[in-house]
Each structure stands twice: as C-alpha cells, then as structure tokens.
Amino acid sequence: RPMAMTFILALVGALIIAIIISPVLSHLALPRRFKDKEGWLSRNLSSTYSGILGLVLKLRWAVLVVVLALLVVTGMVATRLGGEFIPRLSEGAVVANTIRLAGTSIGSSTDYNTRIEQLLMESFPDEVRHVWSRIGTAEIATDPMGTELTDIFLSLTPRDQWTRAGTQDELVAAMQETVSTLPGLNILFTQPIEMRLNEMESGVRSDVGILIYGDSFDTLTELSDEIQEILVDIEGQADVSTDQITGQPGLRIELRPEKMARLGVSAAEILPYIEAIGVLRVGEIYEGQRQFPLAVVLPDKYRTKIDAVRNLVIPTAAGIRILLSDVADVVEAAGSATINREWGRRLIRVQSNVDGRDVVSFVEEAKRLIAEKVDLPEGYVIEWGGQFENLERARTRLSVVVPLTMVLVFVLLYLSLRNFKDVALIYLGIPFALVGGVLSLWFRGIPFSVSAAIGFIALFGIAVLNGQILIEAIRSKLRESSDAVSAVKQAATERLRPVLATAITDAIGFLPMAISTGVGSDVQNPLATVVIGGVITSTALTLVVLPILYIMTQHKAEGHRLISLDEKEAQK
C-alpha cells in the first residue's frame, strides 16, 4: 500500500507539472526562435532504426513467427519459475526454536540452553553479537509454551565482519550443522519477526505448515510421523519438526472394583486422596473484594515417586487404614503433553522450512507424495499453512485486481482513441513486456513473488505508455499522408527518441534496486529485475512488431489507402 500510494502521488505530481508548470517554464526559459538541431547520436540511432524497420517490414511474417515462438518459450519458462510469498528479508537476527522431550524440567532446559549458547558463541565469534534464551511461558501468557520448548535469540554482527559465511542462509546452514551434534534435540531456525508473522497468520513458525485434524492422539501421531518421514526425503527441506503432543511422563491410577468390594471401600472414599496427589480444590478464600481458590496438595514425598504413591495411606469410614495399592493399580504412563485445537478440532502440526528452492514447488511435490503414500482415515483432514497459504491468498487477490485494472485502463484508452483496434495494438505491449520480465527472473534464479507481481503491474503501465506514444504518432501522420507504410515508418522514426528516453530512464532508475545487496534488497531485487527486463523487451518489440501489426490490421474504412508491402516493391 505505501508503494502504491507513493506511485499514485508521483504520477499526479508529474501530471500537474506537465500540464501547468512545464508550459510556463518553457515559455520563460526557451529562446523565441528555436532550431531543432538533431545530435549525432540521435541521427545515428534514427538512421539505424529506419534501416532495421525497413528490413523487418519486408520480413514481417518471419518476424511474427519468431515473436510468437518467443512468447511460447516465455510461457514455458513461466511455469517453471516457482513461487514464494515474499523474498526472505534479512532481519540481522536469528531465532532457534528448540524442541526436547515432553516433561523436561526447567533446570534441564536451562542447562541444555546454556550448552547451545556457549557452542554457538564459540563456533561463530565473528558472526554472533549477543545470545539469550526464553524458556516456557512468560508472565503475560500470549505465547504459551512448555518448559521443553525454548526460543534462542541471536543478534548478528554486520555482514562485512563475518568469516564463516557470506549470506545469512549460509550462516544458518553452518549453525544447523554445528548444533546437529547435540543429542535429543529438534531445532528450527528462523527470524524473530518472520516467526511472529507466520505464527499469527497461520499458527506455524516455519515456511510450510501441515495441519492434521482428527480425534485420536495416537492416529494423529502416526500420521504426523509418516508425513515427517516424507518431508525429510524431499529436496530443499530444512528443520522438519512436529508438535510434541504426547510423551508427558505421568501416573495412571486404575481403581479395582473387586478389591474395593472385598475391603468394603467405596470409590467416593478413595478419589479425594487421588485428586490430592494433583490438586484438590476445596473452597474459596475472600480478602475484601479479592477471591482466591483454596486447594489441598499432598507433600512432595507422597507425589514424586511411584512407590510413595502406591504406599499412600488412606483412612476409611470403617476406621481402618489401607494402602492405595490395595484397591488400585498404579503404573507409569506417558500422557498428553499438549492438546492443540482449532475451531473445536484436535490437530497436530508438521513444520518445515524451505532452503535452496521455492516454496511452491516444494509444497506441490510434498502434496503429491503425501497423497500417494498417506492413507487418511475417515474424519481426518490435512490443511496447509505458512508462507504458502499467504501466497495463495495473494494470488487470489491479484487474479481479480490486475484484470480489473487492465480492463479499466483499456476503457480509458478507448474513450481517448475511439478505435478498438488501436487500443488492442497498444495492449500488445503487455505480452512483449512479459517476455523480458519472466526471462530476467529465470536468468537470475528468482522465483515469482508478490514483489515480482508489483513489478509486473508497474511494467504493464510502462508498456502501455510506449505503445500509446507510437500509435498516437502513427495516427497523426496518417492524417497528413495517404501512404500508410511511409506514415508508419516516419512516425516510428520520429517517436524513437521519446520511447527510448522513457525506457532508458526507467531501466537506469531501477538498476540500483536490482543490484543492491544491503538490507531490504531481497524484496527490491525481484521488482527491479522484472521492470528492467520487461522494459528492454517491451521497447524493442514495440518498435519492431507494432508497426508491422498496424499496417496489417489498418482498415481502409478510415479513409487511408493502405498499400501492401508487395505493391510497394512492385512499384519500385
């Protein structure tokens, strides 16, 4: 939105200057008698272009076949570009999300984090400036996490001080290799802002998230394990992990009705003591307007060891004392570590970052393999999230906004020119621009993204402007001459300078964005690459192909005698 508003305001300002200020300044600054003297560069360009134009007009069908083949090749290349939502912006910081076994104590987590911090600081002294960790849930629980989950934040030094990597992707890869030697640890590298945006928008912290919905924890775990094994074998995967929904150590206490009947004990007498092993809420305490729950909890010596729980003494209504093991089976069992829900449905998430390839092709391959190898039980559903979800939403919006915008521009041009075919010829500059935009992305190895889409939108405007300049000049010459071929050649030669000036200024203006490597260049490069490549092909093809098409499609009904090229040759 800020870029769009800037562009709109700049165009409005340019329009005001062109209509109001430029005529006044021209009247005041230009001499009364102005000699239109053409420079040597302009003369040489016009002469060269005139010769080229004459040649292509003779070989018009061959030229059109070559252009058509070029458009077909561009379409094939476009399908192989891949895609991503937005290029990854370097934030100057890295966050490592560590996942350990469920039930890990805070002391163990702290010790393990200290080891990781020391290892990273010692291994990357020139790259890491500061490191700190966050374990579990903060006091303001906007991001609930267990003590087995940790976020390790690393602030980085300026890139020119790095010695072990040239880019942040290379640095993260080196860090992954370093921490992979630590046992019992899953770790996912991302960036602080990127992590928060992903989590707020789609509930996952990585580039791609696979959300599995169902009822049974066991089935969800089995499905997530199968999908995780598939993702690990896909080229470009990085930091594949899954939610730790099971594995929480606990005790399972099962009352034995036959034993209770033999001892004359009811379940109502036993259950309060079992509940007190956890927390037994017995009432409320009031202090003025404040209210506090009153709970009973057994001392730790009766709760932390299984033998102590089995030997818990329970007084009965009959006046006898029995052990918990006399009326119940007490066994160790792994319980649920977390219960994730979305819209009332249980879910488990499998997450993966993408490294070395675009997100769209990665997701398409993953979808195909999962559909082939994973058999979903009835009632279980898979949904996709992360950056891929954002890209799909952006594509949906652009598929509506861009055509609507092009239709509105077409209508405005028609109201101005009052000739449908002329407007259609002007719009042929758009596919010519697509050729350069797509091929330049492919040449630089940049996938399609929202940033590139914005570049294409700006490029379409430039292409239409160049086409309109040429068509207006041709129409003006046709009012003075009945020879369509001569009129077209003369108009194209005269409009060469303004068309080239527009193209060159646009290309040079975007060149710093295309070659920059500083902060923010990841987002700027696709936009500038599209505009520069598209301006080159659009200008070249507009100056060459548009005159051919204009001559071939011009109607005699407009009052102009169109002489075919074959007739011209015969007359000579």
pLDDT tens string 451-480? 888 888 888 888 888 888 888 888 888 887
Q: Domain with 134 in it: what CATH number?
A: 3.30.70.1430
* pLDDT exceeds cutoff 80 at 162: yes
Domain membership of residue 270 (yes or no) is yes
> What ranges in 203-241 are assigned the alpha helix state H?
217-232
Please write down the long-range contacts of 267-275, taking CB distance under 8 Å and 24 or more positions apart.
269/314, 269/316, 269/317, 270/314, 270/324, 270/327, 270/328, 273/298, 273/312, 273/314, 273/324, 274/324, 274/328
Considering 88-92, 202-206, 325-329, 562-566, the range whose residues carry the highest mean pLDDT is: 325-329
* pLDDT exceeds cutoff 80 at 152: yes
* pLDDT exceeds cutoff 70 at 139: no
Of 336, 354, 383, which residue is a domain's last? 336
pLDDT tens-digit profile of 486-497? 888 888 888 888
> What ranges in 418-557 are assigned the alpha helix state H?
420-427, 429-444, 450-480, 484-494, 496-515, 521-553
pLDDT of residue 473: 86
Domain membership of residue 208 (yes or no) is no
pLDDT of residue 570: 47
Is 552 found in the same domain as 467?
A: yes
pLDDT grade for 520, boundaries at 50, 70 and 90: low
Is 167 found in the same domain as 287?
A: no
What are the tokens at 333? 């069992």
CB 359 within 8 A of CB 218: no
CA distance from start to end of the chain: 58
Domain membership of residue 378 (yes or no) is no
Domain membership of residue 397 (yes or no) is no
Domain membership of residue 239 (yes or no) is no
Q: Domain with 513 in it: what CATH number?
A: 1.20.1640.10
Is 179 found in the same domain as 110?
A: yes
Q: Is 83 helix (H, G, I), strand (E, B) or coil?
A: strand
- Indicate the helix (H) or strand (E) that contains 348: strand 345-354
Give the domain range for residue 429.
38-80+419-571
Of 302, 336, 370, which residue is a domain's last? 336
* pLDDT exceeds cutoff 80 at 514: yes
Is 425 found in the same domain as 527?
A: yes
pLDDT of residue 33: 67
pLDDT of residue 65: 92
Domain membership of residue 548 (yes or no) is yes
In terms of Cα–Cα distance, which of 151, 147, 153 is closest to 100?
147
pLDDT of residue 69: 92
pLDDT of residue 420: 85
Q: How far apart are CA 435 and CA 424, in angstroms?
A: 18
Is 100 found in the same domain as 74?
A: no
- Indicate the helix (H) or strand (E) that contains 363: helix 359-373
pLDDT grade for 566, boundaries at 50, 70 and 90: very low
Domain membership of residue 229 (yes or no) is no
Contacts of 565 by beta carbon, 8 Å cutoff, 6+ apart: 57, 58, 60, 485, 551
Q: How far apart are CA 91 and CA 108, in angstroms?
A: 30
Q: How far apart are CA 458 and CA 85, in angstroms?
A: 18
Contacts of 364 by beta carbon, 8 Å cutoff, 6+ apart: none
pLDDT grade for 36, boundaries at 50, 70 and 90: low
* pLDDT exceeds cutoff 50 at 8: yes
pLDDT grade for 1, boundaries at 50, 70 and 90: low
In terms of Cβ atoms closer than 10 Å to its own Cβ (0-12, 13-18, 19+), residue 363 is buried
pLDDT of residue 518: 67
pLDDT of residue 72: 92
Mean pLDDT of 5-27: 84
> What ranges in 100-167 are assigned the alpha helix state H?
106-123
* pLDDT exceeds cutoff 80 at 137: no
State the average pLDDT for the chain: 81
Ramachandran category for residue 483: left, alpha or beta (phi over 0 → left; psi -120 to 50 → alpha): beta
Is 557 found in the same domain as 445?
A: yes
pLDDT of residue 25: 85
Burial 392-422 (b: 16+ CB within 10 A, else e): eebeeeeeeeeeeeeeebbeebeeebebeeb
Give the up-direction half-sphere exposure of residue 484: CA atoms within 13 A in the CB hemisphere: 21
pLDDT of residue 247: 63
Is 529 found in the same domain as 471?
A: yes
* pLDDT exceeds cutoff 50 at 559: no
pLDDT tens-digit profile of 222-261? 898 899 899 988 888 887 888 776 666 778 888 888 888 8
Is 145 found in the same domain as 72?
A: no
pLDDT tens-digit profile of 177-193? 888 878 777 788 888 88
Mean pLDDT of 130-138: 78
**Dihedral angle computed from the Cα positions of residues 57, 61, 63 and 66, in that order, rounded to the nearest 10 degrees:** 180
Is 485 found in the same domain as 440?
A: yes
Q: Domain with 330 in it: what CATH number?
A: 3.30.2090.10
pLDDT tens-digit profile of 383-430? 888 777 777 787 888 888 888 888 888 888 888 878 888 888 888 888
What are the tokens at 309? 């729980």
Is 270 found in the same domain as 159?
A: no
Domain membership of residue 134 (yes or no) is yes
Q: What percent of the chain has pLDDT over 70?
A: 89
Q: What percent of the chain has pLDDT over 90?
A: 3
Q: How far apart are CA 134 and CA 438, in angstroms?
A: 44
* pLDDT exceeds cutoff 50 at 565: no
* pLDDT exceeds cutoff 60 at 556: no
Q: How far apart are CA 211 and CA 190, in angstroms?
A: 19
What is the CB neighbour count within 10 angstroms for residue 32? 5
Return the minimum-mean-pLDDT range out of 155-169, 195-209, 346-360: 195-209
Is 155 found in the same domain as 42?
A: no
Is 257 found in the same domain as 171?
A: no
Q: Is 249 helix (H, G, I), strand (E, B) or coil?
A: strand
pLDDT tens-digit profile of 254-279? 888 888 888 888 888 888 888 888 77
Residue 203 is given by DSSP the state S
Total structural domains within the chain:
3
pLDDT of residue 73: 92
